[in-house]
Amino acid sequence: MPRRVQFYETDLAGIVHFSWFFRYMEEAEHALWRAAGLTIARAGEEIGFPRTGASCSFHAPLRFEDEFEVWIRVAALSRRTMRYSCVLSRGETKLATGTLGLVCVSKRPGQPMAAIDIPEHVSARFAVDPGAAAEAVAAG
């Protein structure tokens, strides 16, 4: 997913604030779901996909007006969870690497959230990328 750094995304040092990297990864996640013909948060849906974890390692700075790409791949998929591997790059320069994890939950009104199996119509749209799975293991 191509992206350009906006001024409001930068800090006083003139580089992208660390919190934006998580937003970039989440934007790529939503684009991945749309490409699969899905949405991660359909209005009125009684299931949700909250985070179980997120990590990001920074390798090079991003500055205002820089153009970069966000690559996201499915690193792991189980009955109830999914984990992504993300790489942010500018040309040949690796800017950051990260992971996002989620769990499928029921979110019925008046009931506590509880982990449930990812519906078949959702899990069938995703496949684990062997390269992403190996990267996730290496990252620890």
Q: Which residues contact 77 (CB under 8 A, 6 or more apart)?
A: 83, 118, 123, 126, 127, 128
**Which residues are bridge partners to 74 per DSSP?**
84
Q: Looking at 11, 66, 117, 129, which residue is catalytic?
A: 11
List the beta strands (DSSP E) in 50-130.
Answer: 51-58, 67-77, 81-90, 93-103, 105-106, 114-115
**Catalytic site includes residue 117:** no
d(CA 58, CA 40): 27
Question: Helix (H, G, I), strand (E, B), or coil: what is residue 34?
Answer: helix
Give catalytic residue positions: 11
